[in-house]
């Protein structure tokens, strides 16, 4: 009986996940496209900025590139960044007229990912490539995926409020706290990887 109940619960979770992605596939595609666009813009900007290993101190990057942030300062700085992003995205759930601000911070964050990884490679060469490919890109893809799911939920809440004047499910606080918990775990993983592998960093995103 317990085995059947467990199987039924797992089946319901799978159905809920597949149903969510099926219903929000257009939104997900648009958000992925915007993330890629933001990343490419960041890459292009970094390449055109003229920043190199010889003039990085002129851009106030020295404090970030010499390892002074390799402590839990990284964790708290990134946590503040995550909270800021989900807070602004959450504004979009209040009304569809606030959604543009949610899109802007989402795209800007993607821009910073591309900018950061490109500067790491420019300034640190092989070490920057290693840090970007092994640590930053995988972790940031996971974080961006969490933001995409959360963004879709907030968009749906805004649309439902627009149509019916209220939104009962999913409960905002529950979704917010679960998202924050997942982002915290991903933050811990990325921070520990940077510390353990002695990875370089420039921007704490």
The three-class DSSP label of residue 94 is coil
Question: Burial of 135 by CB count in 10 Å (0-12 exposed, 13-18 middle, 19+ buried)?
Answer: buried
Hey, how many other C-beta atoms are within 10 angstroms of the C-beta on 17?
11
- Over residues 137-153, mean pLDDT: 94
Angle at 56 between CA 137 and CA 105, to 5 degrees: 45
Hey, how many other C-beta atoms are within 10 angstroms of the C-beta on 143?
22
The three-class DSSP label of residue 1 is coil
Average pLDDT along the chain: 81
Q: What is the Cα–Cα distance from 105 to 42, expressed in whole angstroms?
A: 14
Q: What is the Cα–Cα distance from 57 to 45, expressed in whole angstroms?
A: 18
What the block records as the tokens of 112 is 């910073």
182 contact partners, CB below 8 Å, separation of at least 6: 146
Q: Kindly report, residue by residue over 63-86, the tens digit of the pLDDT.
A: 444 444 556 678 888 899 999 999
**185 band by pLDDT with thresholds 50, 70 and 90:** very high
């Amino acid at each position: 009986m317990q085995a059947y109940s467990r199987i039924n619960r797992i089946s319901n979770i799978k159905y809920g996940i597949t149903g969510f992605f099926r219903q929000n596939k257009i939104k997900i595609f648009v958000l992925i496209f915007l993330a890629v666009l933001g990343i490419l813009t960041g890459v292009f900007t970094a390449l055109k900025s003229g920043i190199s290993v010889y003039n990085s101190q002129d851009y106030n990057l020295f404090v970030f590139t010499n390892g002074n942030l390799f402590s839990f300062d990284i964790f708290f700085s990134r946590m503040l960044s995550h909270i800021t992003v989900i807070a602004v995205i959450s504004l979009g759930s209040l009304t569809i007229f606030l959604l543009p601000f949610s899109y802007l911070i989402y795209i800007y964050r993607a821009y910073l990912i591309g900018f950061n990884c490109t500067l790491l490679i420019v300034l640190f060469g092989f070490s920057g490539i290693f840090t970007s490919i092994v640590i930053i890109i995988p972790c940031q893809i996971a974080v961006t995926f969490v933001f995409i799911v959360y963004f879709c939920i907030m968009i749906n809440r805004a649309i439902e409020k627009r149509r019916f004047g209220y939104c009962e499910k999913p409960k905002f606080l529950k979704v917010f706290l679960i998202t924050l918990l997942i982002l915290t775990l991903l933050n811990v993983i990325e921070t520990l990887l940077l510390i353990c592998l002695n990875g370089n960093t420039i921007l704490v995103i």
